[in-house]
Amino acid sequence: MKKGINVGLLGLGTVGTGVISIIEQHQQELQHKVGCSVNVKKVLVRNLEKKRGVSLDRSLLTTNPDDVCQNPDIDVVIEVMGGVEDTKQYLIEALRQKKHVVTANKDLMALHGAELLRIASENGSDLYYEASVAGGIPILRSLADGLAADRIKKMMGIVNGTTNYILTKMSQEGSSYDDVLAQAQELGFAESDPTADVEGLDAARKMAILATLGFSMDVKLADVSVKGISSVSDRDLYYCDQLGYTMKLIGLAKRDDDRIEVSVGPTLLPNEHPLASVHNEYNAVYVYGNAVGETMFYGPGAGSLPTATAVVSDLITVMKNMKLGVNGHAVHAPLHEKVLKEDREIESKYFFRMRVTDKAGTFQAITSLFAEHEVSFEKLLQLPIEGVEAAEVIVITHHTSKENYEQLYKRLEALDVVENVESSYRVEGGQ
């Protein structure tokens, strides 16, 4: 193995700055772990004049991606620039140049991960992407290595810090969604365009990556059922609390008899559930294995240094593989054929909040409709609305199929005594 490993970076934003800081400050530890130094050889940036959070020799900066991807002196390309189509081409070029790649790009891996991993394998190159899911939490490494001997049957967790921050503040402080979102943007927890976060797309990409690795199936983003938090109201959260639940944006990947479901959506959890106590921008993932039982991974889901730590950890793995001469052998094609569950096979409990006519016979009409669909009540609240002849009915059901739930929802909306189904969410945990 060479005395020093040369790396090139694509991007020098928040994460890229953290990566360089760790490499510079941890040289002694890096040399101790893998027996050689790490040298930053070239860094792709958009603007050569921009002030950086780290001090770099200007000669290391470039605006030409070929200076990184085709540079014969560079062994490992670290991609922290984001984006999809252009970035994909840069990484394909780097892999075809027999370079190893480390990326933090969840969008890219969710959409094109299978293709990039195949190209990496064909060229004897490593491609690692731990930082693409849950920031500094080593969840992908744990699935690939620590739990490799087990059969994963369920993964459930909070994988988006922005939405967790918003729901935490709404629940604990009684603030409105719009007010908390504005606060999150001011603090840098949410982007100026928060759509990918609040509508669940960011979490869905991460769940596609987790499900692909955990189930060894080629799970696509389109396979994930997605619902965001933009319609969650303070009334919903008030009733959640009254009934002993906490709402979180939960990513769920579940396997039963080799048929899978993958979803993201606002979900009610019993207050005693460990995920209910994960607050603010923190992430946590529960993994259920046949042999190990339940394990939980918790930590910061974003930020410069937590994410950069995951990137550098992948870099260390690449360097160890170089030392052993086993690069390119960690990539495996999915073992199992992907079979998605039908709606009739997906079971859960559900929360309904309805505005109904406050008159005799209303409750009987609603209970009759639930009975017709063979859905029973686990918890029930009925409260009058002051100043009008209307009431709110809040129901948590026992388990029923998604197919049955959707049919019931439509029937409720059409029922004369129901003025509106204000909201409805999945309920997880508990008996």
- 164: nearest Cα among 225, 253, 272, 247: 247
Amino acid code (one letter) for 31: Q
Say how far apart CA 405 and CA 111 lie, in whole Å.
30
Separation in Å, CA 38 to CA 138, 315, 318: 22, 10, 12
Find where tokens 């529960």 sit.
286
Helix (H) / strand (E) element for 116: namely helix 106-122
What SS3 state is found at 3? coil
Residue 217, number of CB atoms within 10 A of its CB: 22
Residue 380, number of CB atoms within 10 A of its CB: 15
Where do the DSSP E strands lie in 227-374?
245-256, 259-270, 282-289, 293-300, 347-357
Find where tokens 């027999």 sit.
98
Say how far apart CA 72 and CA 191 lie, in whole Å.
37
> Which candidate in 42, 88, 169, 206 is catalytic?
206
Tell me whether residue 206 is one of the annotated catalytic residues. yes
Q: Do the beta carbons of residue 250 and residue 110 sit within 8 Å?
A: no
Q: Do the beta carbons of residue 51 and residue 72 sit within 8 Å?
A: no
Say how far apart CA 77 and CA 306 lie, in whole Å.
19
User: Which DSSP symbol is given to 252?
Assistant: E
Token pair for residue 170? 């709404």
Helix (H) / strand (E) element for 379: namely strand 377-385
Active site residues: 206
